[in-house]
Structure 1
Amino acid sequence: MTTGAPTSTAPRRSPRPRTFVPLGIAAWLVLEIWLLGLVSQQLGGLAVLALLAGGFVLGVVVIKRAGRRAFKNLTSTFQQAQEAVQTGRPPTAPQPAAKGSGNGLTMLAGLLLIMPGLLSDVLGLLLLLPPVRALVSRRAERTLQKKMASAPAGSFGDAFQQARIHYPDGKIVQGEVIREDPSPDPTPRPPLTP
């Protein structure tokens, strides 16, 4: 008779990515600090401080420009909707932005530039390049579509897909569900008003 831990015949699940996130953040921080020390030995502490300050200023400028662009797009969309309401015509759908011109990745690049560290600055500068930004955007869109397609029924992804049902001409179908179930209580109820 042997005693020991029971063995399971179920297949082992691979660890979730979020278990490695703290380890990845710690490794990133150690690498950033090591790189800053290495560069400060070669160039001097004042040069590293100037690099970090320059990255911060550039990041603030990038985020400010992307924010202004996003606010301008939002304002023009609201103005078009207001004009449509005043004239009585249906509002037109907003024009899709050109591929790779999204403000989200530009703001992410600005945030990476603001973060102290040389690797984050390099990643932020790479994201400012339009071909890199377009590539990352396509990759993220493809990954999101795969996740949504493989979402189980009843999940958020399934609800998102159901909300995107359109007519072939692109118009959104609006309506309401009216149940015609017979009521078990034949007496009418008063309306719910305060």
Structure 2
Amino acid sequence: MAVVFLLYVVAEVAAVWAVVSLIGFLPTLGVLLAGAFLGSWLARREGGKAARAFMDTSRSGRSPHAEITDGMLIGMGGLLILLPGFVSDIFGLLLLLPPTRGVVRRSWLRRIEKRAPLGGYPGQQQERVIVVDSEVVSENKGNGPDQDPPPRMIIDSQ
């Protein structure tokens, strides 16, 4: 992790040095400040859109995985934009723009699904609850002497 941070700092210094060499110190400072203001405005706008999308999805009863991930990526993009430097501004801008954020979100969710399946953790016993004639019945109940026998008719609404 320390090596990654060191490489990031070296890349930022090299990028700022290259831009200062091309356009000068004051214009570089102006570009960095303009990027911070533009990025913070964009982060606020996209964050509001993500919050509204989250509320709409939650109200409709659907799972808001994409909206939560969008909010997280927008927050990360806003933080990167506010850090001084061109490399962080570029990565922050990529996270704030909807098309590139969608690509990052899909790959992020795929990676999470591989590590922890949506149904729980690997090795965790899953239990589905099924309602039969207004009675809650667990599908995983055994047939031991001290347990109820399984129901004869199971209605599964999936």
Question: What TM-score bracket applies, with the shorter chain setting the length?
Answer: 0.5 to 0.7
Task: Tell me, yes or no, if the aligned pair for 2:35 and 2:89 is still in contact at 8 Å.
Answer: yes
Match of 1:66 among 40, 46, 61: 46
Per-residue CA deviations over 1:14-38 (Å, capped at 9, x if unaligned) read: xxxxxxx111011101110121112
Whether 2:17 is the aligned partner of 1:53: answer no
Greater share of helix: 2
Q: CA RMSD in A?
A: 3.6
Percent identical: 31
SS at match of 1:116: coil
Match of 1:157 among 121, 146, 150: 121
- Count of aligned pairs between the two proteins: 131
Q: What corresponds to 1:31 in structure 2?
A: 11
Partners of 2:126 and 2:61 lie apart in 1 by: 20
Give the C-alpha shift of residue 116 in structure 1.
0.8
Match of 1:142 among 98, 110, 122: 110
Distance of aligned partners of 1:59 and 1:160 in 2 relative to their CA distance in 1, 3 Å threshold: farther
Greater share of strand: 2
Q: What corresponds to 1:107 in structure 2?
A: 75
Larger Rg: 1
1:173-192 to 2 correspondence within 5 Å? none
* Residue identity opposite 1:45 in structure 2: F
Whether 2:93 is the aligned partner of 1:125: answer yes
* Residue identity opposite 1:61 in structure 2: W
Per-residue CA deviations over 1:29-80 (Å, capped at 9, x if unaligned) read: 11101211121011101111111101211222123223433544566688x5
Partners of 2:31 and 2:37 lie apart in 1 by: 10
TM-score normalised according to structure 2 size: 0.63
